[in-house]
């Protein structure tokens, strides 16, 4: 996958651009980013914010080794499905975005 394909996948699946990086936010207000994809020139870093506020890199992979899963479209190579709670957080963020559009809020 390319940087643009990965960004498009993320935005279609509940991620939002925060400080220039596709990010997932906490489910309760305020909604600060707690997971982000740092898209560099040749690699993607998956980072999770620790309670102390520091970002920790939990996965890193070059774009050439990331492929879209044929069934779900989820990028393989970053082990997103193996990270506990990430799929649920993605779904929560996606649902919140859909309901905000339905209610007329951004």
Q: How far apart are CA 60 and CA 93, in angstroms?
A: 23
Tokens of 74: 């989820």
Task: From 37, 40, 45, select the one nearest 21 (Cα to Cα).
Answer: 37
- pTM (two decimals): 0.84
**pLDDT per residue over 44-100, tens digit each?**
999 999 999 999 999 999 999 999 988 888 899 888 888 888 889 999 999 988 887
Name the residue ranges covered by the structural domains of the chain. 3-101
Distance of CA 1 to the CA centre of its chain: 15
Q: What is the side-by-side strand order in the sheet with 43-49?
A: 16-18, 21-25, 33-39, 43-49, 55-62
Is the predicted pLDDT of residue 103 greater than 90, yes or no?
no
Q: What are the φ/ψ torsions at residue 26 (nearest 5 degrees)? A: -60, 145
């Amino acid at each position: 996958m390319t940087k643009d394909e990965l960004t498009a996948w993320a935005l279609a699946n509940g991620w939002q651009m925060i400080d220039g990086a596709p990010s997932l936010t906490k489910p309760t207000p305020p909604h600060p980013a707690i997971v982000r994809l740092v898209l560099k020139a040749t690699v993607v870093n998956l980072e999770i914010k620790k309670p102390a506020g520091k970002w920790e890199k939990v996965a890193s992979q070059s774009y050439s080794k990331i492929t879209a899963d044929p069934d779900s479209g989820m990028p393989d190579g970053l082990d997103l499905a193996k990270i506990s709670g990430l799929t649920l957080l993605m779904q929560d963020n996606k649902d919140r975005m859909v309901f905000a559009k339905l209610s007329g809020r951004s």
